[in-house]
Amino acid sequence: MEKVTLADAFASIDERWDPRLAGELNGQAVKLAKAEGEFVWHSHADADELFLVTEGRLRIEFRDRDDAVLEEGELLVVPRGTEHRPVAEPEANILLFEPAGTRNTGDVENELTREDLEQVDD
């Protein structure tokens, strides 16, 4: 049982769009990612996904509705099955909460796909 200091944890991450595990509870994972620019369009068939911006700005695009723009201290839950594309403008630090094992690129597998996430340094 160790606390995580978000500023230190984000400072330890070099890569963009490379989520790290900050904790697991009740079958869910808390992940931290540094974001820059456009991610890939994707959806998660079985996972609702929470985004909380702790620094910067993240726009989340949807196919059938207006974008959501999250500033520092704002959160949004994207329901399962909802196609979305995160775009950091220009950069953002993001905390995600979702079922453990949820793949970052959902139904898409490409060069941005990350599995078997490392634990974050804190």
Give the interface with a second copy as residue ranges (CB under 8 A): 1-7, 22-26, 28, 30, 47-50, 54, 65, 68, 70-71, 73-79, 82, 97-99
Q: Which is nearer to a second copy, 99 or 114 (CB)?
A: 99
Q: Which is nearer to a second copy, 9 or 39 (CB)?
A: 9
Q: Are strands 74-78 and 20-25 parallel, antiparallel or unpaired?
A: unpaired
CB 33, min distance to a second copy, A: 15
Residues in the chain, overall count: 122
**Contact criterion met (CB below 8 Å) for 61 and 120:** no
Give the integer Cα–Cα distance in Å for 50 and 68: 13
CB 114, min distance to a second copy, A: 20
Q: Which is nearer to a second copy, 1 or 110 (CB)?
A: 1
Q: Which is nearer to a second copy, 82 or 113 (CB)?
A: 82
Phi, psi angles (nearest 5°) of residue 94: -125, 135
CB 88, min distance to a second copy, A: 16
Task: Encode 52-93 in three state secondary structure.
Answer: EEEEEEEEEEECCCCCEEEECCEEEEECCCCCEEEEEEEEEE
CB 97, min distance to a second copy, A: 6
